[in-house]
């Protein structure tokens, strides 16, 4: 296990290095105004050149990249240019990350509470009205662009139930719509996969044999079917949790939630490249960590899986 984890960590570091290097290089191709900020209009060409030289942007790309990674190892992601001038990016992200974390975990908790039981019931009632209703919900969520039903929820549900449209951290009722919106896709995913894995288990020979021996349906369902069906689900849970935390960009902007998603949108609109770099690093790291934890979780819940040489699950 330790050998496998070490190998995956090394692979993840290499992957993260490639992602950050590509993003860093692409941002250097962006217009220079992204590093000058609002002061660009007041600067003469000579002043702009001096400013960019002091930032190191006139150095060769490899030198800039080396300086960036040197600062990164010291915990320095640079300073904001336009969003909050001269404020360290680490400080800005630290102020925002808790909102994304709380909403992400809340949405995952809600989707687990609804999605997993829904998938279990759909498997038990295969072909009946609940299964068809759940399948219709899954197809709707998968087929319709998320932006469409997010806007419908904000525009119409707010009026029907008289709920506030924008987030206010001091009014818990304003948290309801963002949490519900964020939980829609994970709920459909959990229900779909739980139903699929349970149906697969129910059709296996050991289930037929257990029924023939007179094992009670409740014991069969919870002690065997559900337990075995949850093993492949365990691989995706950590990744889903972290992807939900980082994947709330549109919702945070829609409801004016001061989290990392809204920050990324603002940073792109203001061409604040240093913040964009920092957020890409955070989002990529969380996604990679989720994949590693998923593999480890699957090995822990299924002792038959050996994460050793030539036996990794990926």
**pLDDT per residue as tens digits for the range 207-242:** 888 888 888 877 777 777 877 777 777 777 776 776
Contact call for residues 65 and 57 (beta carbons, < 8 A): no
Nearest to 137 by CA among 201, 178, 190, 176: 190
Q: What's the rounded mean pLDDT across residues 152-159?
A: 84
Residue 246 has pLDDT above 60, yes or no: yes
Report the pLDDT value the prediction gives residue 138, as an integer from 0 to 100: 92
How large a percentage of the chain has pLDDT more than 70?
89
Interhelix angle 89-124/273-301, rounded to 10 degrees, is: 40
Q: How confident is the model at residue 313 (pLDDT cuts 50, 70, 90)?
A: very low
Cα–Cα distance for residue pair 241/56, rounded to 1 Å: 38
**pLDDT per residue as tens digits for the range 11-21:** 888 888 888 88
On average, the pLDDT of the chain sits at 81
Q: What's the rounded mean pLDDT across residues 123-143?
A: 89
Whole-number Cα distances in Å, 11 to 17, 97, 127: 10, 26, 44
Residue 312 has pLDDT above 50, yes or no: no
Is the pTM of the predicted complex or chain greater than 0.85?
A: no
**pLDDT per residue as tens digits for the range 41-50:** 677 778 778 8
The domain locations on the chain are: 91-270
Looking at CATH, the fold of the domain delimited by 91-270 is given as: MetI-like fold (1.10.3720)
């Amino acid at each position: 296990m330790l050998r496998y984890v070490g190998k995956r960590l090394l692979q993840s570091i290499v992957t993260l290095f490639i992602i950050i290097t590509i993003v860093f290089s692409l941002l250097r191709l962006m217009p220079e105004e992204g590093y000058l900020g609002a002061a660009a209009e007041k600067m003469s060409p000579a002043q702009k050149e001096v400013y960019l030289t002091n930032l190191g942007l006139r150095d060769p790309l490899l030198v800039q990249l080396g300086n960036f990674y040197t600062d990164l190892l010291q915990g320095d992601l640079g300073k904001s240019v336009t969003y909050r001038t001269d404020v360290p990016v680490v400080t800005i992200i630290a102020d925002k990350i808790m909102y994304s974390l709380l909403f992400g975990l809340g949405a995952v908790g809600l989707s687990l509470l609804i999605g997993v039981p829904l998938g279990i019931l759909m498997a038990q009632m295969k072909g009946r009205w609940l299964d068809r209703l759940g399948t219709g919900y899954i197809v709707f969520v998968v087929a319709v662009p998320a932006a469409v039903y997010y806007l419908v929820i904000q525009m119409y549900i707010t009026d029907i139930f008289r709920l506030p449209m924008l987030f206010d951290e001091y009014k818990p009722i304003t948290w309801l719509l963002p949490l519900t919106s964020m939980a829609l896709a994970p709920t459909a995913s959990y229900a779909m996969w739980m139903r699929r894995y349970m149906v697969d288990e129910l059709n296996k020979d050991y289930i037929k044999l257990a029924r023939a021996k007179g094992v009670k349906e409740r014991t069969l369902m919870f002690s065997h079917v559900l337990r075995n069906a949850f093993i492949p689900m365990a691989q995706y849970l950590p990744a889903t949790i972290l992807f939900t935390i980082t994947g709330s960009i549109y919702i945070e902007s829609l409801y004016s939630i001061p989290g990392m998603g809204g920050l990324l949108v603002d940073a792109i609109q203001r061409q604040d490249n240093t913040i964009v770099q920092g957020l890409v690093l955070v989002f990529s790291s969380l996604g990679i960590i989720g994949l590693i934890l998923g593999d480890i979780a699957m090995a822990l819940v299924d002792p038959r899986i050996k994460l050793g040489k030539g036996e990794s699950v990926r």
